[in-house]
Amino acid sequence: MIDEDGRQLGVFLTAEAWKVAVERGKDLIEIVPTADPPVCKIMDFGKYKYELAKKEKLQKKHQHVTLVKEIRFHPNTDKHDFDFKVRHAREFIEQGHKVKATVIFKGREITYKDQGADVIGRFSEALDDIAKVEAPPKMEGRQMIAFYVGDKSKKKPEGKSTKKEVKES
């Protein structure tokens, strides 16, 4: 048995240990039931649960959730629309999200899979400086899908300028 300060009190019978805990106004909690004899600790169980919940909440607060943002194209997507979508994909990757590029084939467009592959290829080239292909393009039904994730080795450190950049401006 261990007391609330972390000192070992020794080996007790269950009834005796429970009696000591009640005298101190605390709860008897079994910590390691598989040990021989089982290890128990005297503590305030309500306070223990509260501190555990507080730790979990703090861990969730500092955790970053990566979302998958989808960018949709068609085999005949115009240049302006394509550039607009690339800008959005860049923003998503810079924010730390994954990007799912989808080329959707409607009706008879499915016969132009090579055009869809070209769109995905141009998209890959446009994001080549900040992202890498996580999953190469593949067909799923009437959609061609590729996943992109930010590549930390390709990012430039922000806020730092080289001597050449300072002299030119």
User: d(Cα 82, Cα 29) in Å, to the nearest integer?
Assistant: 62
52, 89: one domain: no
Torsion of CA 23, 24, 27, 31, to 10 degrees: -110
| Per-residue pLDDT, 161 | 45
**Quick one: 133 and 81 in the same domain?**
yes
Picking from 18, 21, 16, the residue whose alpha carbon sits closest to that of residue 3 is 21
Q: What whole-number distance in Å separates Cα of residue 150 and Cα of residue 33?
A: 46
Output the tens digit of pLDDT for each of the chain's 169 residues.
Answer: 888 888 888 888 888 988 988 998 999 888 888 988 889 999 988 988 998 899 998 888 877 777 889 999 999 989 999 999 999 999 999 988 999 999 999 999 899 899 999 999 999 999 998 998 988 899 999 999 999 998 877 665 554 444 444 445 4
CA distance 168 to 116: 41
In sequence order, the β-bridge partners of residue 104 are: 143
The domain containing residue 86 runs over which residues?
68-150
pTM to 2 decimals?
Answer: 0.56
Q: How many CB atoms lie within 10 A of CB 3?
A: 15
State how many domains the chain has: 2
Dist. CA 44–CA 116, nearest whole Å: 63
52 and 103 within one domain: no
Which residues lie across from 99 on neighbouring strands? 69, 148
SS3 for 140?
A: strand
Same domain, residue pair 20 and 79:
no
